[in-house]
Structure 1
């Protein structure tokens, strides 16, 4: 009788998020598994909206944990930490966590008397022209106005890349604590060698900040054209919107929709939007769909907007998180945007692989998943869980997608699961299914009896994916034992708490996390007998 060469035999594979073997308790009293430092930092980083409270952690406590982990890893493995921070800003598109991480990375290395890596970290996380000022705001509010060389030089490197006429017009506003001129005077960047005009831009930004004249150098053509439009009498400004060359003149002057709103000194009507839309960026279009409807933008223009939003190449260049499309769908319920947003969301989830066989997708909709995922409180963690769960379910050859929480009403009650299977709509859409999930009662609330839910719903599936914050309640059996040990269980972490609900890193138990589809691609790698690595290592 075969003991090793059986159909259930799988190659031993490893994944990067790893538990140490040490145990603790989750926030709700269940068995918790501690992760190594890199794994804890990674899961926290990819879910950390700096300063934002979660169900079990205040924003301050969460930020302190993030800072402590960054300080430790900046000394122990600076190259790994630099790679994490670079990926976090460039690919995961998480701005605040990357910026704070780079600042604290630098602080830790300075305190330890270590040279190298810090300048590169600061430069790597600054990818938009307002972010050098953000870095200065964070550093000086935390560590005072004395700037160490790595911070100065890293910011100066970023300024050479990022400062231009359009960025000056967009971001150098009186509402900022650190204007472009302040950044320039504190960090002293030289103009980039391949940007002959940048010296004039730097001088103009400083002169404007200190009230030393309004004359725009002739070499700065965009600023010159903006000055010409600003000088137009109010009565001529609206006429420009419908002139044959109106859209081109607005674009040539770097007029954003925010700038035009103030320039018109009146409402943004259809003519204003229609003149601006040809030069608006992807994010600006996505944010203003409701405004387009309310202003009465024509169907012809709306079709062009929809075509841009739905274009997979535009989606890729925009680097929008999948949740942005769901948020836009909720904000602009007009039917003329639904199809485009569905295509955009599908493109943003293109990294979810088609998995063969039968997959059980368990979506945690307990009370702790109702904590806010966005600063305006419009998106919850369970919204993200439903979106990823449904997106994965639709990509599988066969999937059972199940919402779960707890049937307990009191902590003294015996463990018991509350589950509700979600029937995926054949030929339907992810956005439509997420809306149906929300309206049809699949957000269950209550506690988190993960082990009981798995025992109730597992029925010989080839794999299990659990989308959760991992804060399982006490149960007589551990989460990892609720399904056969040989069946792969993949945990998709959406909160980054310290303790996990199961072992991770090998033996058919793996944990991923984040707000994009990137790590889903590790599943077929692991099932093909290949080890999975950190996202920035597998990207190449």
Structure 2
């Protein structure tokens, strides 16, 4: 009888999300496992819309847990924490969590007098990727810790300002609705212009002037977009509609940095067919996706609609927009016209580019219990149940041989036909009450080569034991956590037991690596 040369004899990769061995209770009363601080912060970070309620944690409690973990690890493990925050704002695409985390990182290290690891200034600059984010970070800092700004915060923000401020960003983000205007930020952090950008000095002077002397501020000619914008602003209202309908109207609007949000105010009239068709060429892919209903209501032509469809379904545009897959599902559900259905289906498919084509037999379990129906954020109509269904369906459709199962109090197998649309598979999912992960595993596991569970890991007290213990130790189990709660449903970190997380498909890139015996490091570690 073979003792060592068995199916599980190959090298086993390990993942970084690890358990401490301490047993906890999940929010639903089931037995759970505690994760170490780095693992807990990682999973919480990539699922946390700051200040948003979740099914089991209110926004304040969740944010407090996030801040405590960042402050602790900023002192104990600054290299790892700084890497997490930069990745979180970049590839992780979690904007607010990264800004809050950077502020808490700096505060903790200043309080502790810590000087090792990445500098505070560097961490602040690393999370500021959009021109409105210096103001967002300063707003969080002053609301939480008062108006006194430490030097590292000032210097990090100043570094970002030199990189991010330009003519179009000033027109788009420097508005009266903001507590911190561009001029306020320049005053607070004493940002000097970048010497490699000779026009930036005039831009900074204009930002200060329009903040403190708005009636007399004159846009500089050295910044062409501001000069073009000034020319359009000076046009009498009666002549503005002619710009929109002119053959070169789209080019003039784009050169002047007129966004779709600003166009109606400039026209002082409705966003009709002509207005939309003039501004659509300069709109980004996600702005187009958000306005599909408006295009239909205004009656934009089929010719323009085809251009919109081509842009929103272009793989490069989807990758550039860095949107989570469920954004396209939301657009699909709310777009009134069928002419958008196929482009959105294509875009959703492109947004799932990292989902691997798994060989062999795969069991995919998708959590459809009550806690999964909590909205992803207060501004989103989408929920974790639909996000889980998207990922589970994509995995099933790409796998060589997959059984797709939805589970809650009960469980059932769902049909997936080769070549079928993810959106069609989604229509077969339902709502299944409580959470009995263990029962679903026992019912459907039949010698599969791997098991993937997409869930919030909050199974009920009715379930008996760790769900992953029902699966042989030599069979890989991948849990994708969509909520970031403290307790997990099973142990992780050892061979064949892996936990990922987040609202994008990026984590699935690790599955083929792990199955080839490669260790899966943190995403920001080369």
What TM-score bracket applies, with the shorter chain setting the length?
over 0.9
- Residues 1:391 and 2:413 are matched in the alignment: no
Is the partner of 2:359 in helix, strand or coil?
coil
Matching residue of 1:463: 450
Matched with 2:22 is: 22
What is the rounded CA distance, in whole Å, between the counterparts of 1:15 and 1:444 in structure 2?
31
Q: Which moved more, 1:392-401 or 1:470-479?
A: 470-479
276-285 vs 155-164, which deviates more? 276-285
2:359 and 2:399 in contact (8 A); partners too: yes
Match of 1:411 in 2: none
Q: Where in structure 1 are there 5+ consecutive unaligned residues?
A: 407-417
> 1:228 deviation in Å?
1.2
Q: In the alignment, is the contact (CA less than 8 A) between 1:402 and 1:419 conserved in 2?
A: yes
Distance 2:515 2:280 in 1: 46
Q: Equivalent residue for 1:258?
A: 261
The residue that corresponds to 2:316 in the other structure is: 313
Residue 523 of structure 2 corresponds to residue 531 of structure 1: no
Instruction: Give the match for residue 76 of structure 1.
Output: 76
Contact 2:53 2:377 in 1 (8 A): no
**8 A contact 1:79–1:117 mirrored in 2:** no
Per-residue deviation, residues 63-110 of structure 1 (Å, max 9, x unmatched): 000000000110011111111011101101110000000000010011
Which of these residues, 501, 511, 526, is aligned with residue 499 of structure 2? Answer: 511
Using the alignment, how far apart are the partners of 1:163 and 1:188 within structure 2? 14
> Contact (CA 8 Å) 1:452, 1:482: kept in 2 or not?
no
1:45-84 correspondence to structure 2 within 5 Å: 45-84=45-84
Displacement of 1:377 after TM fit? Answer: 4.1
Find the counterpart in structure 2 of residue 451 from structure 1: 438
2:259 aligned with 1:271, yes or no? no
Q: Distance in 2 between matches of 1:186 and 1:521?
A: 43
The TM-score with structure 2 as length reference comes to 0.97
TM-score normalized by the length of structure 1: 0.95
1:429 aligns to what?
Answer: 421
State how far apart, in whole Å, the 1-side matches of 2:316 and 2:464 are.
Answer: 50
- The alignment's C-alpha RMSD in Å is 1.2
Give the aligned partner of residue 147 of structure 1.
149
2:286–2:312: 8 Å Cα contact kept in structure 1? Answer: no
SS of equivalent residue, structure 2 residue 196: coil
Match of 2:238 in 1: 235
Query: 2: distance between equivalents of 1:333 and 1:403?
Result: 29
Task: Give the equivalent residue in structure 2 for 1:156.
Answer: 158
Number of equivalent positions: 522
Q: CA deviation at 1:370?
A: 0.9
Query: Do the aligned residues in 1 keep the contact of 2:53 with 2:378 (CA within 8 Å)?
Result: no
Q: Tell me the alpha carbon deviations over residues 358-394 of structure 1, each in whole angstroms, 9 at most, x when there is no partner.
A: 1111000100111110322401111111111111111
Give yes or no for contact 1:366–1:443 (8 Å, CA) kept in 2: no
Q: Which residue of 2 aligns with 1:420?
A: 412
Q: What pairs up with 1:85-484 in 2 under 5 angstroms?
A: 85-115=85-115, 116-211=118-213, 213-406=216-409, 418-434=410-426, 436-437=427-428, 442-474=429-461, 475-484=463-472
